[in-house]
Amino acid sequence: MNFAFLKRDIPRKRAVLTVVALVTVASVVAGRERPALELVHERAPRAVVVEDDGIDLDKLRRGESSLPQNDPFARMKGVEKQAAPAPQAAARPVAPPLPFRYFGRLTENGKTEVYVMRGDELISIAPGQTIGEYRVDQVAQSSIGFTYLPLKTKQTLDVQ
């Protein structure tokens, strides 16, 4: 027999690492082949203690009925084909509530500015100004007049 691979010069460190790796793999594979033995001890049955907590479980049970309460497929008695109700006149569209809240006034050098809040946005307003779908019509001491432009509806914001 002539083994050519045995005649090579293999470094000792590499050979040792190869042998260790082969032994490790062989032990893992061999460990999987044998089933692990486990001893199972029988436990003595434990006594179950039931405490009376005052709950009547019979009240929680639903009574059985022999017939369904209602038959969804049965025709309704006394219901004849009725004429469709007359269509009502279309409701007149209504402007949404004003999205503005009065914030305050500032008078400086004889000029007064009025501020309103729209959500978190502070807006300075003046008559004739358009803010989104609203136009400012008048700014008085006690109220501010707006027009909702899509419906041309006038609305008033009280200043308090």
In order, the DSSP letters of 111-129 are EEEEEEEETTEEEEE-TT-
Residue 104 φ/ψ, nearest 5 degrees: 165, 180
Per-residue pLDDT at 64: 67
In whole angstroms, what is the distance from residue 103 CA to residue 100 CA?
9
Amino acid identity at 110? G
As averages over each run of 10 residues, the pLDDT of the chain (160 residues) reads 64 86 82 62 65 74 67 66 66 92 92 93 94 95 95 93
**pTM of the predicted structure, to 2 decimals:** 0.45
Per-residue pLDDT at 40: 66
Per-residue pLDDT at 6: 61
Amino acid identity at 18? T
In order, the DSSP letters of 52-103 are --S--GGGGSPPP-SS-S--TTSPPTT----PPPPPPPPPPP-PPPP-EEEE
* Sign of the dihedral defined by the CA atoms of residues 47, 53, 56, 61, in that order: negative
Q: Which residues of 129-143 are buried (b: 16+ CB within 10 A; e: fewer)?
A: eeeeebbbeebeeee
